[in-house]
Amino acid sequence: MSATKYDRAANIARAEAALHDVAKIKRAEIVFWLAALASVFFLQDQYLLLNEVAITGLFALSLDLILGYGGIVSLGHAAFFGVGCYAAGLLTKYGVQDPIIGLFIVAAITAALGFATSFLVLRGTDLTRIMVTLAVGVLLGELANRLPRLTGGADGMQGIDPGLLLGRFEFDIFGQVAYIYSLIVLFVLFVIARRFVFSPFGWSIRAVKENQLRTSAIGIPVTGRLVVVYTVAAAYAGVAGALLTQTTSFASLDVLAFHRSADLLLILIIGGTGYLYGGIIGALLFKIVQDAIATFTPEYWEFWIGLILVAFVLIGRERIIGAPMWIWRRLRGAA
């Protein structure tokens, strides 16, 4: 009987080793960030586009936290992005010139908003969540439209003049400082997110996504976990919005529009959910595709985005995302 004896210490050690293995930094990750670093030196004429990719990537990363890890389908995530945009603009206009201090304040504001709305969102079924997130998004868009003195209304907020970054660097028209700034913020927040999802806390959030009933049965507070991840994601989205305002010196109603939430969902799905890089890769692919489509049909590119969405669902997300991996495995198997 001794062979099958339950050895608690050994089991725990084995589980810890397995979790540790998953959390280890992989070679592909190092290559990924080196490539991002290289883009600063070799793609100087693409800074403006890359800046957008970095910001959208951060925005999609925040959706990944709630969708890929928390399992919450949101159709109104642009709400936090938009609030971040306008908050950053207002801060710059009325006193707080330093961009980085601005980011911290915006993060606090959107985190508070996320915390407050999380209680609305976490009730009920998928449908209720979709509708409530949608309604919150539309509500904020309407609010921004109705407060032109604060937001500039349909004309957008103008006259935003962010101060010098770290008191030294001015945002130039080529977007060099802007891109480097956005990329560093993205990297720092990514590292934090990575620590977060591989912490015991992060594993418990995955457990909540898998099965709420069983997770609560082993003593993990389901609602509490989701509130935390929703709040964190809201802060991330707010920071992404703030970056957009600071680097483009402009904020318009478009940041709260429905299509932004919908596009974001597409971006994350293209890149794949639940491994953090999906949002950034999806943002890159999306911008490239959008750019390519917009050159031959500038007005009706949404049609093709819609077609991609429909095709994605009908062919199957797993199959499309899995295809490169499958080919890679076949190639390695053949070699």
Partner 1 sequence: MLTNLFDGVAYGMLLFLIACGLSVTLGLMNLINLAHGAFAMAGGYITVVLVNRMGVPFFAALPLAFFGSALIGLLLERTLYIHIYRKPHLDQVMFSIGLVFMAMSGTGWLLGTGQVFVDLPKFLSYRFDIFGLLSVGAYRLLIIAVCGVLALTLQLAIAKTRFGAQLRAAVDDPTVARGLGINVDLVFAVTFSVGSGLAGLGGALGAELLGLDPSFPVKFMVYFLIVVAVGGSAGMVGPLVAALLLGVADVSGKYYLPEVGAFIIYLVMIVVLLWRPQGLFSRAGGR
Q: Per CB under 8 A, does 242 bind partner 1?
A: no
In the complex, least distance from residue 248 CB atom to partner 1, rounded to whole angstroms: 25
Q: Which is nearer to partner 1, 203 or 301 (CB)?
A: 301
Angle at 134 between CA 133 and CA 137, to 5 degrees: 85
Q: Which is nearer to partner 1, 76 or 84 (CB)?
A: 76
Q: Per CB under 8 A, does 310 bind partner 1?
A: yes
Angle at which helix 176-197 crosses helix 27-42, to 10 degrees, equals 170
Interface region with partner 1, contact rule CB under 8 A, candidates 24-32, 130-138, 159-167, 184-192:
130-138
Q: Which is nearer to partner 1, 132 or 229 (CB)?
A: 132
In the complex, least distance from residue 139 CB atom to partner 1, rounded to whole angstroms: 5
Q: Per CB under 8 A, does 130 bind partner 1?
A: yes
Residues that bind partner 1 (rule: CB under 8 A) add up to a total of: 42
Binds partner 1 (CB under 8 A): choice among 25, 217, 218, 314 = 314
In the complex, least distance from residue 323 CB atom to partner 1, rounded to whole angstroms: 18
Q: Which is nearer to partner 1, 26 or 146 (CB)?
A: 146
Q: Per CB under 8 A, does 298 bind partner 1?
A: no
Which backbone phi and psi does 169 adopt, to 5 degrees?
A: -100, 130
Q: Per CB under 8 A, does 142 bind partner 1?
A: yes
Q: Per CB under 8 A, does 123 bind partner 1?
A: yes
Interface region with partner 1, contact rule CB under 8 A, candidates 42-50, 77-85, 161-169, 310-318:
310-318
Return the residues of window 250-269 that contact partner 1 according to CB under 8 A. Answer: 258-259, 262, 265-266, 269
Q: Which residues pair with 169 in a beta bridge?
A: 165
Binds partner 1 (CB under 8 A): choice among 1, 9, 28, 127 = 127
Residues 58, 277 contacting (CB under 8 angstroms): no
Binds partner 1 (CB under 8 A): choice among 14, 26, 146, 319 = 146
Q: Per CB under 8 A, does 321 bind partner 1?
A: no
Return the residues of window 268-287 that contact partner 1 according to CB under 8 A. Answer: 269
Q: Alpha-carbon torsion 237, 238, 242, 245, what sign?
A: positive
Structure tokens at 151: 């937001």
In the complex, least distance from residue 240 CB atom to partner 1, rounded to whole angstroms: 21
In the complex, least distance from residue 311 CB atom to partner 1, rounded to whole angstroms: 8
Cα–Cα distance between 44 and 26 in angstroms, integer?
28
Structure tokens at 77: 């995530």
Binds partner 1 (CB under 8 A): choice among 23, 48, 73, 105 = 73
Structure tokens at 56: 């959208």
Residues in touch with partner 1 (CB under 8 A): 67, 73, 75, 120, 123-128, 130-132, 134-136, 138-139, 142-143, 146, 258-259, 262, 265-266, 269, 299-303, 305-310, 312-314, 317
